[in-house]
Amino acid sequence: MSDEKPLKKVIDQLLRAYGYQQQLDEIEIIKVYEEQVGKMFSNHTKNIAFKNRVLYVQLDSAALKQELSYVREGLVQRINQQMGKILVDKIVIR
Protein backbone atom coordinates (compact mmCIF):
# COMPACT_ATOMS: atom_id res chain seq x y z
CA MET A 1 0.00 0.00 0.00
CA SER A 2 1.37 3.42 -0.87
CA ASP A 3 1.72 6.33 1.55
CA GLU A 4 -0.47 8.80 -0.36
CA LYS A 5 -1.50 12.11 1.21
CA PRO A 6 -3.84 14.77 -0.12
CA LEU A 7 -1.90 17.40 -2.09
CA LYS A 8 -3.22 20.23 0.13
CA LYS A 9 -1.84 18.53 3.24
CA VAL A 10 1.57 18.04 1.63
CA ILE A 11 1.69 21.66 0.46
CA ASP A 12 0.65 22.92 3.91
CA GLN A 13 3.43 20.87 5.52
CA LEU A 14 5.96 22.17 3.01
CA LEU A 15 4.92 25.80 3.56
CA ARG A 16 5.09 25.38 7.32
CA ALA A 17 8.54 23.82 7.03
CA TYR A 18 9.81 26.83 5.07
CA GLY A 19 8.05 29.37 7.33
CA TYR A 20 5.52 30.67 4.81
CA GLN A 21 2.29 29.53 6.45
CA GLN A 22 1.88 32.69 8.55
CA GLN A 23 2.20 34.99 5.53
CA LEU A 24 -0.28 32.91 3.57
CA ASP A 25 -2.70 32.92 6.50
CA GLU A 26 -2.43 36.72 6.67
CA ILE A 27 -3.26 37.07 2.97
CA GLU A 28 -6.18 34.67 3.32
CA ILE A 29 -7.52 36.46 6.43
CA ILE A 30 -7.53 39.79 4.60
CA LYS A 31 -9.35 38.20 1.67
CA VAL A 32 -11.92 36.61 4.00
CA TYR A 33 -12.41 39.96 5.81
CA GLU A 34 -13.21 41.67 2.51
CA GLU A 35 -15.67 38.91 1.58
CA GLN A 36 -17.38 39.03 4.97
CA VAL A 37 -17.82 42.81 5.26
CA GLY A 38 -18.86 43.41 1.67
CA LYS A 39 -17.96 45.88 -1.02
CA MET A 40 -18.92 49.08 0.83
CA PHE A 41 -16.70 48.39 3.83
CA SER A 42 -13.91 47.09 1.60
CA ASN A 43 -14.00 50.30 -0.44
CA HIS A 44 -13.66 52.39 2.75
CA THR A 45 -10.94 50.20 4.28
CA LYS A 46 -7.76 52.21 3.86
CA ASN A 47 -5.34 49.91 5.64
CA ILE A 48 -5.57 46.38 6.97
CA ALA A 49 -2.93 44.33 8.75
CA PHE A 50 -2.73 41.13 10.76
CA LYS A 51 -0.19 40.77 13.56
CA ASN A 52 -0.07 38.68 16.74
CA ARG A 53 -3.58 37.27 16.21
CA VAL A 54 -5.06 40.79 15.93
CA LEU A 55 -6.64 42.15 12.73
CA TYR A 56 -6.07 45.92 12.46
CA VAL A 57 -8.57 47.71 10.22
CA GLN A 58 -8.39 51.39 9.30
CA LEU A 59 -11.56 52.90 7.84
CA ASP A 60 -12.04 56.38 6.38
CA SER A 61 -15.62 56.78 7.64
CA ALA A 62 -16.61 57.39 11.27
CA ALA A 63 -20.06 55.94 10.64
CA LEU A 64 -18.63 52.72 9.21
CA LYS A 65 -16.16 52.48 12.12
CA GLN A 66 -19.09 52.63 14.51
CA GLU A 67 -21.10 50.08 12.54
CA LEU A 68 -18.15 47.68 12.32
CA SER A 69 -17.56 47.99 16.06
CA TYR A 70 -21.08 46.62 16.68
CA VAL A 71 -20.40 43.43 14.69
CA ARG A 72 -16.71 42.96 15.42
CA GLU A 73 -17.09 39.88 17.66
CA GLY A 74 -19.33 38.10 15.18
CA LEU A 75 -16.94 39.01 12.39
CA VAL A 76 -14.03 37.43 14.29
CA GLN A 77 -16.05 34.22 14.62
CA ARG A 78 -17.03 34.20 10.92
CA ILE A 79 -13.44 34.80 9.78
CA ASN A 80 -12.12 32.00 11.99
CA GLN A 81 -14.91 29.70 10.84
CA GLN A 82 -14.17 30.36 7.17
CA MET A 83 -10.43 29.89 7.78
CA GLY A 84 -11.12 26.54 9.42
CA LYS A 85 -9.01 27.38 12.48
CA ILE A 86 -8.80 30.07 15.13
CA LEU A 87 -6.31 32.65 13.92
CA VAL A 88 -7.94 35.97 14.84
CA ASP A 89 -8.53 36.81 18.51
CA LYS A 90 -9.81 40.33 18.01
CA ILE A 91 -10.26 43.20 15.56
CA VAL A 92 -8.92 46.68 16.30
CA ILE A 93 -10.68 49.44 14.37
CA ARG A 94 -8.79 52.65 13.69
Distance CA 54, CA 19 (A): 19
Residue 87 has a pLDDT of: 96
- CA distances (Å), origin 54, targets 7, 10, 30: 30, 28, 12
Residue 44 has a pLDDT of: 96
Domain tally, the chain: 1
Residue 47 has a pLDDT of: 96
Encode the chain (94 residues) as per-residue pLDDT tens digits.
Answer: 456 778 888 887 888 888 888 888 999 999 999 999 999 999 999 999 999 999 999 999 999 999 999 999 999 999 999 999 999 999 999 9
Residue 2 has a pLDDT of: 58
7: left (phi over 0), alpha (psi -120 to 50) or beta: alpha
Answer whether residue 16 is part of any domain.
yes
Answer whether residue 52 is part of any domain.
yes
User: Whole-model pTM?
Assistant: 0.81
Query: What is the span of the domain harbouring residue 19?
Result: 7-93
> The domain that contains 49 carries what CATH number?
3.30.300
Distance CA 54, CA 72 (A): 12
Answer whether residue 2 is part of any domain.
no
Answer whether residue 59 is part of any domain.
yes
Answer whether residue 1 is part of any domain.
no
